[in-house]
């Protein structure tokens, strides 16, 4: 005979979820996880479960768009020369052969 093996009108025997001992159902308490446990095994819900984080403000107070890259184009002596295959549009001068013109220079573009 155990400690729960007696007649109590309207009561029944139940097993503790934690310790597995037989108790009367009227002495059991419902745990915060939803299990029925005996009074020895019952514990309150941890207070850390109710802690809420402070929302972060992820947007900076101000911002500005990225400045577009600027390229400084310059004309070389071969770009200014008015010869087919050497001159560059916007640089070429009609009828002009630059004194520093080098026909052996390879075009980079």
**94: containing domain:** 69-99
Domain count, the chain: 2
Residue 10 resides in a domain = yes
Q: Residues with Cβ < 8 Å from 86, sequence gap 6 or more?
A: 78, 79, 101, 103, 107
Residue 106 resides in a domain = no
Task: Read off the pLDDT of residues 44-94 as tens digits, 9 standing for 90 and up.
Answer: 999 999 999 898 888 888 999 988 888 877 888 888 888 787 778 888 888
Task: Read off the pLDDT of residues 30-49 as tens digits, 9 standing for 90 and up.
Answer: 999 999 999 999 999 999 99
Residue 54 resides in a domain = no
Q: What is the pLDDT of residue 35?
A: 93
Record the pTM: 0.46
Q: Are strands 22-24 and 29-30 parallel, antiparallel or unpaired?
A: unpaired
Residue 91 resides in a domain = yes
pLDDT confidence band for 107 (50 / 70 / 90): low
Residue 87 resides in a domain = yes
């Amino acid at each position: 005979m155990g400690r729960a093996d007696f007649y109590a009108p309207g009561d029944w025997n139940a097993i503790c979820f934690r310790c597995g001992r037989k108790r009367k159902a009227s002495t059991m308490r419902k745990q915060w996880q939803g299990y029925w446990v005996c009074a020895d095994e019952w514990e309150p819900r941890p207070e850390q479960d109710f802690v809420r984080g402070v929302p972060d403000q992820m947007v900076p107070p101000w911002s500005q768009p990225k400045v577009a890259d600027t390229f400084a184009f310059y004309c070389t002596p071969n770009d200014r020369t008015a010869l087919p295959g050497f001159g560059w549009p916007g640089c070429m001068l009609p009828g002009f052969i630059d004194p520093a013109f080098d026909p052996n220079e390879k075009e980079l573009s």
